[in-house]
A and B are shown apart, each in its own frame.
Chain A
Amino acid sequence: EAGVVQSPRYKIIEKKQPVAFWCNPISGHNTLYWYRQNLGQGPELLIRYENEEAVDDSQLPKDRFSAERLKGVDSTLKIQPAELGDSAVYLCASSLERVHEQYFGPGTRLTVT
């Protein structure tokens, strides 16, 4: 069974540029999560989807971050414009339902220069 797929794995951009991350969850998983992991820290939840609906986006900086999960499968997280402080690893996870184990992808390491 394929795991959670994320792309790109690495991204280097200049500040004020836009960037997008893509996530393909495990087949059949209804719940999808985006986390941000700063250097030396544990991941922090940005947004949680149940099917197409964003049910918890309280930690998403909405002035520059946006996310979508069309058709309740793949998801895209976007930052526009990027700031130096956005440098981090962005992790996607999915679970069968919200009460089940979360499976994490390898992450996208973003560097903003």
Chain B
Amino acid sequence: AQSVTQLDSHVSVSEGTPVLLRCNYSSSYSPSLFWYVQHPNKGLQLLLKYTSAATLVKGINGFEAEFKKSETSFHLTKPSAHMSDAAEYFCVVSNTGFQKLVFGTGTRLLVSP
């Protein structure tokens, strides 16, 4: 069975400071991993995905994530937070073929001026 654990339910940062959202995964085979963002009253949007190519994955809006097999982690980072980054972020694991996405419980990112 596959699962993801998002280590923080809430993360608070100041605008202009780095963002780190942590995710550990569990999978019995090589996983595909994703980060989705959910703004209030809007649909989930794909930020980035890892599918066994480069371990450092760059996404939209300046976000990136690094796949670390030895640590079973896929943490999301951004060098400088913007007010518009405030949202709920979901780490997601899938089997090959993306037949089923398994979501984490989410991390709410709060950005203060």
Q: Interface of A with B (CB < 8 Å)?
A: 3-4, 9, 40-45, 48, 56, 91, 93, 95, 98-107
Contact = CB atoms under 8 A, between A and B. Distances in A.
B97 A106 contact: no
A55 to B, nearest CB: 8
A105 B42 CA distance: 7
Contacts of A99: 97-98
12 contacts: A42-B92, A42-B103, A42-B104, A43-B90, A43-B101, A45-B100, A56-B100, A99-B98, A101-B46, A104-B36, A106-B41, A107-B43
Contact of B90 (A9, A42, A45, A101): A42
Chain A contact residues: over half helix, strand or loop, or mixed?
loop
Contacts of B90: 42-43
B45 interface: yes
A60 B105 CA distance: 20
Please name the 9 residue pairs, one residue from A and one from B, whose CB atoms are nearest each other, closest first: A42-B103, A104-B43, A104-B44, A106-B43, A42-B90, A105-B43, A43-B103, A99-B98, A42-B104
B22 interface: no
B31 interface: no
A109 to B, nearest CB: 9
Nearest to A44: B103
A102 B44 CA distance: 9
B97 A98 contact: yes
Given A42-B90, A106-B43, A107-B43, A101 B49 contact: yes
